[in-house]
Structure 1
Amino acid sequence: MSGKRTVAHLELMLDTVMLIKAAIMGIVEGLTEFLPISSTGHLILAGSLLGGFDDTRGKVFEIAIQTGAILAVIIVYWQRLRETAAGLGNDERARRFVLNVAIGFLPAVILGLLFGKAIKAHLFTPVVVATTFIVGGIIILWAERRPASAVRVHEVDQMTPWDALKVGLVQCLAMVPGTSRSGSTIIGGMLLGLSRKAATDFSFFLAIPTLIGAGLYSLYKERDSLAVADVPLFAVGLLFSFISAWICVRWLLRYIASHSFTPFAWYRIAFGIVVLVTAYTGVVVWQD
C-alpha cells in the first residue's frame, strides 16, 4: 500500500512540475510573440533548458499556446475590431482596413504552403538562427537611424493596399528561424515608410489571421498527437501566454510612444551570441 502511495505521490509531483514548466513556456511565448526578438528562438531555448517539450507533443503545445497570445491582442484591440466588423456594410474605412489585412496575410499563406517544409528541413540550424538574430538587430539599428522625413504613413488607416502587400511580403521573412514575425513586420514597415506606431499596430492586426491560420493548420496536421490527458498542460500554457501577452502588448503600445526599438536590437545581437555559445557547448539543441 505504501508503495502505491509513493508512486501516486511521484506522479502528482511530475504532473505539478510539468504544469509549472507549461506556465513558464506560456509566459515566454506571451512576452516574446509581439516583440521584435523571435518567440520561436526563445521557446526553443526555454524548452531545451526546461525539458519535456522536445517531442511532437511539445511542438503542438508551442502552437497551441499562441492562441492565448492572439486572444490578448484581440482584447486589447477589441474596440477597433468591433467597430470594423459593424462598419463593413457602409464604412469605407472599415472595408479598406479589412482589405489591407487580407492582402498582408496572403503572401504568408502562399509561401508558407510552398516552402514551409523545406525551410524547417534546411534552415533550422544554430548558424542560421544566430545569424538572423544578429542581422535583425543590425537592421533595427539602421531603421531607427532613418530621418523623420522618411515617414509617410502615420496611422494604419492611411495605408494603401500596396503598403499592406509590401508589409505582407516582408512578414514572409519570419519563416526563416530567428527572424521574428513581429520584427519583420514592424521594422520592415518602418523601412517602407510607416511610422513606428502604424507599423506596430498593423503588425498586431496582421498577427490575428496569420497566427490563427498557421495554428489551425499545424494542429490539423498533428491531430494524431493530441490527447485528452494533455488538456490541463495546454490550458495552463495558454492561460499564462494570454496574461503575459496582454501585459506585453499594452506595455509595448505605451513604450513606442516615446522610445525606439534600439534596446531590442542590442538584445537580439546578444541573444545571437547566446545561440552560438549554447549550440557550440551542446547546452541547447537548436534543430526543430
Structure 2
Amino acid sequence: MSDLLIVTILGIVQGLTEFVPVSSTGHMILVEEFLGSQTFNKGFFDTFLVVVQLPSILAVIVYFWNDINPFVKEKEVFKEKMILWSKIVVGVLPAAVFGLLLDDIISGYLSGVQIIAAMLILYGAVFVVMEKLIGKGKKVEKMSGVSYKLAVAVGFFQCLAMVPGTSRSGATIVGGLLLGLSRAVAAEFSFFLAIPTMFGATLLRLLKHGLTFTPEEWKLTLVGCVVSFVVSYVVIKWFMAYLKKRDFKLFGIYRILVGILVFLSIYY
C-alpha cells in the first residue's frame, strides 16, 4: 500500500471518528495496527498521528465561528461570547490537570489494543442503555443555561476519554446529558471543549515528538491534514443534525461489534 494512500485513509478515519462517540484515538491506533506503518519512519508516523488532529480543531472553529467568535462590535454579544469562553476554559481545566499528570502513564500502559477493544465494548454498552439513565425532566436548552458548575462537571467526564477507546465526544456528551443538558447543548459544548483540549493535547505531544519532516513527509502530512479537515467538517454538520432526531444506540452497537472483532482478530 502506498504512503499516499495510507495517510489519506488515516485522514479519513480521523475526520470520521473525532467528533462521533466511537473513539478517534482508538480507531487510529487500530488502523495503525492493521494497515501497517512499517513503510514510515516511526518518528514521522507518531508525529503525523498528532498533527492530523489539528485540521479537526480548525473544522470545529470554522463550523461554529458565529457562535464562538468574540470579535464583535455589539457589547452585549461580546459579553455573551466572553462568558461562553470563560465556561470553556473552566470546563477544560480538569482534563488539563489530569492530562499533564497522567499522560505518560496512559500512553505507556493504557494504549494497548486489548484496552481499546475493552473500552469500545464497555462504553458501547453504556451508550445502548444510556437512554434509560437520562432523566426525563426539564433540560438546559440554551448555552447560556450552562453554569460554571455544570461546565466543570462535564470537564471531569471528559477526563474519562484519556483512556484510548473511550471517545472524548462520547464522554462529554453523555456527561452533559446525564447532568441535564439537551442533546444539542451537550453536543455543542462538547465541540467547544474540543478546541482547547485537542489543541493542548496536540501541542503537548508535538513538544515530546518534535516536528522534523523531510519534504516528502511534509507533502504526506499536508494531504492527510486536508482530508482530515474536509471529512471533519462534513461529519460535524451531519452529527449535529443526527442528534436532533436520534440517540446513541446505533453508535453503541457499532462500538460493541468493533470491539468484539478486535478481540477475535487478536486471539484468532
Fold match (TM-score > 0.5): yes
TM-score by length of 1: 0.86
Q: 1:107 & 1:195 partners in 2: Cα distance? A: 22
Instruction: Identify the match of residue 34 of structure 1 among 5, 15, 19.
Output: 19
Determine if contact 2:134/2:177 at 8 Å carries over to the other structure.
Answer: no
Match of 2:150 in 1: 163
Q: How far apart are residue 135 of structure 1 and its match?
A: 1.4
Instruction: Identify the match of residue 183 of structure 1 among 170, 173, 179.
Output: 170
Q: How far apart are residue 77 of structure 1 and its match?
A: 0.7
Match of 1:48 in 2: 33
Match of 1:232 in 2: 219
1:226–1:89 Cα change, 3 Å: farther
Q: 1:21 & 1:32 partners in 2: Cα distance? A: 16
Return the letter of the residue paired with 1:47: E
Return the letter of the residue paired with 1:34: F
Match of 2:238 in 1: 251
Secondary structure (helix, strand or coil) at the match of 1:86 reads coil
Determine if contact 1:108/1:210 at 8 Å carries over to the other structure.
Answer: yes
Q: 1:178 & 1:220 partners in 2: Cα distance? A: 24
Q: 1:258-287: per-residue Cα shift (whole Å, max 9, x none)? A: 111110011111111122122223xxxxxx
TM-score by length of 2: 0.92
Q: How far apart are residue 151 of structure 1 and its match?
A: 4.6
Return the letter of the residue paired with 1:152: K
Secondary structure (helix, strand or coil) at the match of 1:149 reads coil
How high is the sequence identity, in percent, across the aligned residues? Answer: 37
Determine if contact 2:134/2:178 at 8 Å carries over to the other structure.
Answer: no
Match of 1:63 in 2: 50
Q: How far apart are residue 27 of structure 1 and its match?
A: 0.4
Determine if contact 1:87/1:94 at 8 Å carries over to the other structure.
Answer: no
Q: How far apart are residue 89 of structure 1 and its match?
A: 6.0
Confirm or deny that 1:140 pairs with 2:151: no
Determine if contact 1:30/1:69 at 8 Å carries over to the other structure.
Answer: yes
Q: 2:138 & 2:49 partners in 1: Cα distance? A: 36
Q: 1:132 & 1:229 partners in 2: Cα distance? A: 36
Secondary structure (helix, strand or coil) at the match of 1:204 reads helix
Q: 2:265 & 2:131 partners in 1: Cα distance? A: 30
1:20–1:165 Cα change, 3 Å: same
Give me the CA root mean square deviation.
1.9
1:147–1:47 Cα change, 3 Å: closer
User: Which residues in structure 2 correspond to 1:208-287 (within 5 Å)?
Assistant: 208-223=195-210, 225-281=212-268
